Chain A
Amino acid sequence: MSTGAAVLRANSVGARSPRSTVIRMLAANRVAVVSACTLTLIVAVAVAAPWITPFQPDRQDLDRRLAPPDAVHLLGTDAYGRDMLSRIIVGARASLATGAIATALAMMVGATIGALSGYFRGPSDLWLTRLTELALGIPPLLLVLLIIALFGPSLRNTILVIGLVYWPPTARIVRGEALRVRQHQFVEAAIALGARARRVIQHHLLPNLMPTLIVQATLFMAEAILIESGLSYLGFGIQPPAPSWGNMLVDGRRYVDTAWWIATFPGTAIFLTVASINLIGDGLRDALDPRRR
């Protein structure tokens, strides 16, 4: 809880605490509130998935292959006669897990490297710059594909690889912020008071970087879900018969002539989730940016 307290201490210039200002601004942003409700609903559905699917997601009913939406199968069935709605509900788990865990990983790695190199500068900074340049030379999607092809596709590998490949943008942003925050007098004062680097970074640097990090994390979470869907579409992500929104779209493309519902609904699920997260991210950015208050 000391981090939260530090945020308050570091920022409490105005009369109101910054946290309540942020919450108030978010609550006033109707789009952000609606998005937050949508996302909460999607998360709840994902958590409750085993209890609420109308059918077993992998139960095949070969008499009802490629059946259009009706009263029994609300979103139709796929090529094996499996219920689309049930598979979409279960598929939410893969997408949300990837979004949350891969983002946490990318943020932790990126923030640590960025904060260290921005604070200490010198050789570690040089290395970061070189590494980032190197990472920029390889399109991330190709690198992810390559690593997954080499080490085998699975949900765990997908999460790990997305988290470990996409940290450089975060590191860059955090480094820039760290360089800026380091110039402030309160950091100078802390150092003059004999604070060690670890303490300065933990108690002065990171709390000030939090707003940037939170926004960055939200926007990256949206991207991570899109990346996962692309990987699954290419056959490098969640492996069938386990359902994921991306791998369901493979059948959507294959049966596009006959079964529009397979092409439509999994994509709609991706869109709703990612758009909600993006809108929350935009709302957070507006609320956390002091210039917009």
Chain B
Amino acid sequence: MSAYLGRRVLGALPMLLGVSVVLFILIHVAPGGPEATLLGGDLNQQDAASLRRSLGLDQPLPVQYARWLGNALRGNLGISYLQGTPVLEVIGEHIGATLQLATGSLALALLVAVPLGIVSATRPNTWVDRGATSVALAGVSFPSFWLGILLILLFAVTLRWLPASGYGDYGAAGGIADHLRHLVLPTLTLASTQIASFLRFTRSSLLEALAQPYVTVARAKGLRSARVLLRHAFRNGLIPLITLLGLSTRFLIGGAVLTETVFAWPGVGRLAVDAVIGRDYPLLLGLNLLIALAVILGNVLTDLLYSLADPRIVWQ
């Protein structure tokens, strides 16, 4: 097992390198640069040139990349152009907000979608199933940020139950409760697409598993139907769901960009948009490195979950 994990981590290195090379080239072949944002509207040629020199942007591309990589390997991702502080510090300040949002919505999606999917698959073509399938279809048919706006319209503007945006004051008295109230609507928004796709997958893979001969055998042995459902069918139907779960890292990050924008949530998604707009190269590269790492971590976790769900899958 540990040998397997070691190999997975080593195997991920070329991908991390590849991602950084692609981004580096992309960033640097594009017209324009960070001067416009950093120097404001009235930039003259001389200032721009000296700024580029001081940022090392006048060097040949391979030299720039080698320098960036050398520093990155020593844990130094450079200074953010926009914030003027180390990239790792900037990311550190924002990652907590995104992690709360991501874990919260993932948990919510699983709690809603899996039971609903099980009920739906065991009673196909009943009103429960039809309702669940419609919800799932709706969930993949509107942009999640629109749901966010509608939730604000309903719960913040009309009912005045929850705040429309922001992070809440963590430190103040009753700060935790206030913060949690701010967390509700963004979590729901981010979870919506996930609920829909988890529900569809749980339903279809369970339906497929229930049609297998071993389920008939288990039933013929006289096992209670709950036991057949959970121990026999669901366990085998779990594999596709785990695959989907592994892919969700990427969707959560994409969704976080939009959700954080709608709710003015101070996470890395919004940070990434600002880095893109401001051409904050070090921050952009740092963020993408972090995201690639998260994706790899997600993949490894997926593999481990596979063998938990199905003992026949052994990693060595």
Binary contact readout B124-163 vs A (1 if CB under 8 angstroms, 0 otherwise): 0000000000000110111101100110110011000000
A145–B291 CA distance with the chains assembled, in angstroms: 15
Asked if A142 is at the interface of the complex by the 8 Å CB criterion, the answer is yes
A136–B18 CA distance with the chains assembled, in angstroms: 11
Given A263-B153, A267-B149, A142–B295 Cβ distance below 8 Å?
no
Q: With a CB–CB cut-off of 8 A, which chain B residues contact A222? A: 140-141
Binary contact readout B154-183 vs A (1 if CB under 8 angstroms, 0 otherwise): 001100000010000000000000000000
A116–B32 CA distance with the chains assembled, in angstroms: 37
User: Among B16, B31, B149, B279, which residue has its beta carbon within 8 angstroms of that of A249?
Assistant: B149
Q: With a CB–CB cut-off of 8 A, which chain A residues contact B108? A: none
Secondary structure at the B interface, as helix, strand, loop or mixed, is: helix
Output the nearest chain B residue to A277 by Cβ-Cβ distance. Answer: B141
- Are B273 and A145 interface neighbours, CB within 8 A? yes
Stretch touching chain B among A21-29, A74-82, A181-189, A252-260: A252-260
- Are B143 and A234 interface neighbours, CB within 8 A? no
Given A233-B145, A267-B146, A141–B18 Cβ distance below 8 Å?
no
Asked if B262 is at the interface of the complex by the 8 Å CB criterion, the answer is yes
Output the nearest chain B residue to A152 by Cβ-Cβ distance. Answer: B31
- Are B276 and A270 interface neighbours, CB within 8 A? no
Output the nearest chain B residue to A231 by Cβ-Cβ distance. Answer: B258
Closest Cβ of chain A to B44, distance in Å, is 23
- Are B19 and A138 interface neighbours, CB within 8 A? yes
Asked if B277 is at the interface of the complex by the 8 Å CB criterion, the answer is yes
Q: With a CB–CB cut-off of 8 A, which chain A residues contact B296? A: 137
Q: With a CB–CB cut-off of 8 A, which chain A residues contact B141? A: 222, 271, 274-275, 278
Closest Cβ of chain A to B174, distance in Å, is 25
Asked if B15 is at the interface of the complex by the 8 Å CB criterion, the answer is yes
Given A137-B295, A145-B276, A275-B137, A249–B284 Cβ distance below 8 Å?
no
- Are A138 and B140 interface neighbours, CB within 8 A? no
- Are B257 and A142 interface neighbours, CB within 8 A? yes
Q: Give the interface size bracket for B toward A.
A: 35 or more
Closest Cβ of chain B to A87, distance in Å, is 16
Binary contact readout B234-263 vs A (1 if CB under 8 angstroms, 0 otherwise): 000000000000000011011001100110
Asked if A44 is at the interface of the complex by the 8 Å CB criterion, the answer is no
- Are B140 and A278 interface neighbours, CB within 8 A? yes
- Are B292 and A256 interface neighbours, CB within 8 A? no
Asked if A264 is at the interface of the complex by the 8 Å CB criterion, the answer is yes
Q: Give the interface size bracket for A toward B.
A: 35 or more
- Are A234 and B254 interface neighbours, CB within 8 A? no
- Are B15 and A133 interface neighbours, CB within 8 A? yes
Closest Cβ of chain A to B124, distance in Å, is 14
Q: With a CB–CB cut-off of 8 A, which chain A residues contact B277? A: 149
- Are B257 and A234 interface neighbours, CB within 8 A? yes
- Are A230 and B22 interface neighbours, CB within 8 A? no
- Are B295 and A230 interface neighbours, CB within 8 A? no
- Are B262 and A267 interface neighbours, CB within 8 A? no
Provide 19 A-B residue pairs closer than 8 Å at the C-beta atoms, listed in order of the A residue. Answer: A138-B23, A139-B250, A139-B291, A142-B253, A150-B26, A150-B31, A229-B146, A230-B143, A233-B145, A234-B257, A234-B258, A234-B261, A249-B145, A253-B262, A264-B150, A264-B153, A271-B141, A274-B142, A278-B140
Known contacts A142-B272, A275-B141; can you find 14 more A-B pairs with CB under 8 A? A133-B15, A134-B19, A134-B22, A142-B291, A145-B257, A145-B272, A146-B26, A147-B26, A149-B276, A230-B145, A249-B145, A249-B146, A256-B164, A274-B141
Which residues of B pack against A, CB within 8 Å?
A: 15-16, 18-19, 22-23, 26-27, 30-32, 137-138, 140-143, 145-146, 149-150, 152-153, 156-157, 164, 250-251, 253-254, 257-258, 261-262, 272-273, 276-277, 279, 284, 288, 291-292, 295-296
Which residues of A pack against B, CB within 8 Å?
A: 130, 133-134, 136-142, 145-147, 149-151, 222, 226, 229-230, 233-234, 246, 249, 252-253, 256-257, 260, 263-264, 267, 270-271, 274-275, 278-279, 282
